[in-house]
Structure 1
Amino acid sequence: MLGERLQCLRRRSFVGRDREVALFRSALADSGLLFVHGPGGVGKSALLDMFADVAADAGRSVVRVDARHLRLGPDVLPALAEGEVLLLDTYELLEPLDDWVREQYLPSLPGDALVVIAGRRAPGARWYADPAWRDLMHEIALGNLPPHDGRTYLTAQGVPEKLRDRLLAISHGHPLLLSMLVDAVNKGAEPYRIGDVPSVVGALLAQTIDQAPSPLHRAALELCAHAPVTTEDLLRAVLGEEAGELFAWLRTLPFVDDGPEGLYPHDVARDALDADLRWRDADRYAGLQRQVSAALRARILATVDEREQIQLLADIIAVDGARSKVATCSNPPATMQAYADTLQDGDRALIIAMTVAWQGKEQAELAAYWLDRRPEAFRVFRTASGEPRGYVACLELAETDLGADPGADAMWRYAHAHGAPRAGERVRAWRFFLDRDYGQLASPSVTLFAACQVLDALIRHDTAWTLVGAYADPTLWAPTMHNLGFEPAEGAEYTIGGTRFPVFAHDWRRTDVEEWLEILHARHAGAPASAADGADNTVLSEPQFAGAVRSALRDLHTPDLLHENPLLRSRVVRQSRRDGMTPAETLGELLQTAVSVLPADLRALADRTFLHPVTTQERIAQDLYLSFNTYRRHRDRAVTKITEWLWAGETGHRTSTR
């Protein structure tokens, strides 16, 4: 019969679930209730098929009920004979009758009955409130297939070996998605990520994710898929005052779990929802990304504890990296309870030992040199027990540091040759990085290192240059650094103990943090990475900047001349520009603001001289009851203070120019 043939094929395709099948076999010798739950597509129905076969082999009669085929009524569920096994599938549709099932139907069954309930949601609180059900019920939370079982399945399906690990990574071991990917491969596809097969994404969403009740609920679901963790505050920041209702709804979804920091969806649901929105509505995807990024950035900057800041960034990197097409950015390892910490007593010897092991004695001696002189530059990556598993060091370089370390020397010389730091600006150099077990290959330490780099960029507004000279393999890391806006610093390479270290550099005066984040958003949304970002922007020395301010004040009402002013491409103007404003309009607004914060005795003079000139400077002096020499001293003093105010914004010493 066809049914027997189908049953045979299903048995051959079934892999894993040994613990669950063993628990069912044990339950056959007794009675009671097994409550199986898990998200759509995780294999609940396939497991019930296996339970039915095991029960039949044991000589037990099986009654199979799928709630999708029932009509609610007084006899909605069947009566059982002695010794029968009831397999009840799709129980989420019977949740309106949950109290009746628990309190009336199940107690009415024969004493030797074995019941298996399978649904998307775990048993409700009332199941556990009853001590008797707590004792009689065994809960089975069904998850994805582990890698070994997933490979066994793919091998049985004839998937080429070169594709097996890739399909496991895409599917996270989710049985339905794994099956869909096998079908796509059989039709010629060779996907690298779930978004490469939109038809699979659509089918998966239809099978596993319930329809959102409104567009706002759908937006909340998409936000939950996009953010590393979703809180009510995040929902409110992006979607408005209905955040409480939306958060409560998200908590009811079977593929959304809650953790200490908030809600997060299962990996497969996250990937499918994200890929679907990106494919279906690229503009809305980009807008959501910017909104979520802005809200998360505000949360990070409002957090006082550095360890928590780094962990938040590590979570973001882990989620965003899974969507990257750059190999070393893609699927960054989770931190797995590893965390970043300051240097503690006892760390020095372990850092030196791991450096000797991976990079040799000469590099270890240089690490020891900086450990003694700049201990505050080091961050140690620890396991959950506090044991060091890796470290990183970011040195703030000064001319007095020259001569001891070829790496620091090379990075300092490069910065000075390609745009020397101005007064008050910093040169930051990532000089060391290692993981105890993996060196510089993929590890939790790599993710934490990336989080440390991003945090440094977000909080240090007075940095001129950030240079990364910690990686020893340019082939491996150049694509990642390029994707992050760090280009090879030609001529800054240095050799330690026979290892040639490349250097990557970013000039924050040409591309500041806001512009850098915008570039990262664009690249994440699919725009091509360009090495020329920020190349046309201007980096002025302090004397050049002062001269440009004087010219701008003089030419403020002469557009053709103002258009040539180098301040229009300076960082302070770019940072202050709002949508719809030209650089010249932005500069004019900045000058007005600078005048408004002058001391009272200079404000009127500067306003009449530069902002609203209607007569000669001699006449202005007369109107202010000043001699012309005194007027000129006051005018020059006003220009100096305006320049100082603008310079503070240019060099990052004023956090906001708006």
Structure 2
Amino acid sequence: MWQRMSELTASRVHQAFVGRTSELDALRGVFATAGPQVVHVYGIAGIGKTALLHILAAEARDAGATVIRLDCRHIEPTETGFLQALEGAIGGGDPDMDTLVERLGRLGSLVLLALDSYEVFRLLDTWLRQIFVALLPDNVRILFFSRQRPLDAWFSAPDWGRLVQCVPLEPLSQSEAKALLSVHGMQDEDAAFLARATHGHPLTLKLAAAASRENNVRSWPQETVLQHAVDELSRMFLADVDDPVSRRVLQGAVVLRRVTVSLLQALFPELAPQDAYERLRRLPFVDGVHDGLIIHEAVRDSLARSLHASDPSRYLNYRRSAWRQLVVEAQSAASDDLWRYTADMLYLIENPVVREAFFPTGTVLHTVEVAHPQDTEALAGIVRAHDGSQASELLLQWWRRLPQAFSIVRGQTGQVEGLYCKLRSDRIEPTWLLSDPVTAQWYSHLEQKPLRPGEVALFCRRWLSLNEGDSPSEIQAAVWLDLKRSYMELRPGLRRVYLAATDLGAYSQVAQCLGFEVLAGREVELDGLSYSSAVLDFGPASVDGWLAELAAAELGIKRAPALLDVEARQLRLAEGAVALTPLEFGVMRYLVERQGKAVSRSELLQHVWGTSYQGGSNVVDAVVRTLRRKLGGQSGRVETLTGVGYRLR
């Protein structure tokens, strides 16, 4: 009978752990009073970071320390998401940062806060470094376990050098690799071969040990053998899953970021979803987490590539089924769970432009942080180096008015190498927008196509690199990555993003892929240069709806036309367009925006009629009746919820 990977690591972590002597010695330094307060442990996937964390945690608890482990894969990468997860782990009843920091200080003389899979938390790195970690009491040590090395900003800040330590994880030595294989039952001759062939990669060694008991792996090519080993051994594991149902479920589940019962039901409607889930959970390379199952990446990625190559039609159908289910579930997801559905949808999108926009695969060499008064000289120097006197003065006027709207980009040595300015439509004086000819064009566009109540527009007024200006560069890439953090923070209220550049053509391929539209006729001439504007309208469902549309286009899914035509104030039905009265339109629009969610009569009275008088709720029912008549065959989509109100299916 299979054991889960989590069960294996819990019961045999000490017996199966070999090597890593120097790394453990370095990590034990956190036990000392004068030891490092911040430790970054990093290495490639499957290199043994989590196993090392298990050993350190066991030793720390034996020494009387308190250990708190957070898996970043299951936390929204925003300040709120992190603080809520931390509150859930340490208690306290209030996800307020000061309250949580104070509670950490009372948990004992030594507290280890470990953030596993930290590579997915890059969006929050600056906030953690500048705000959260700086507030931690001296009894707390924070450890980051990541696939990527830490940004240089962790070491370049004044007085941080002696407090921060790096522990890189390299492949096991030949002797350590053979010792690990021996623990897993391999004979000396086979162990020596596999140790050489896999270059000491721990996960590959474990997979190889299991698979090679029944297969001859000596015929593998020696070149790029590590990748060949991961792919081949993953296929061998699939062949070794004797149960055909489990094998089939595993093959389909590899298209998912996380596996849930509802997603399995969508992928395999003919199977009992709970049974399929339990079959998958028992596999040794599947971990159970609080919101589903995670197939180990080395196995998941190789099996997905194999399925894509051997049966592209089935691979596509699995992804389409997952998309349809995620769209339905995301519509009624609580705000705390929305990030999971965002990440799940992003995983379905294979377009590298979109994936890289949110989760860059390369190592980020620049940090983006809020600008401070001491950055004035460097910031002004970059602006004047690339913009003429008129354009420079307009941008520096924003710096004087709203310095908090500016961020700077630092290089590896801490020097300022770039900047950008972003403004929010709900936090800015209209007169200020009108005083700048670039933002005045955006204001005019908003007047022509106004936002709805609660919606926000984000203005990216300017980004500049010291060497490249506003042309594509590593600085610009760091700026755009930081903008994605703002996307996450502002959704579901974020409706549009406006930006301007002197050469939008340089970004045309990326911009078209993401859905940006050039605002023709709104160019602004400054100092002999033309500043062109573009806008990205996410639609009424904000960022998550936009991602769903991108995924649908990639998957070849033709979505049904929207039931409500907002611009024409009409219903779109198979029989044709049906006009609505102002009240019918208001009710229908409110229901559409909250599709799948219960809407009370009092909400409708407040937002459509502009009153809180409860005695007038019968007018709501009257309008709903006329709406249903106009909906005809789709009238059943407006459900009555007894004692509550209505819901649009």
TM-score (norm 2): 0.46
Bigger fraction of residues in strand: 2
Bigger CA radius of gyration? 1
Higher relative contact order (CA 8 A, sep 6+): 2
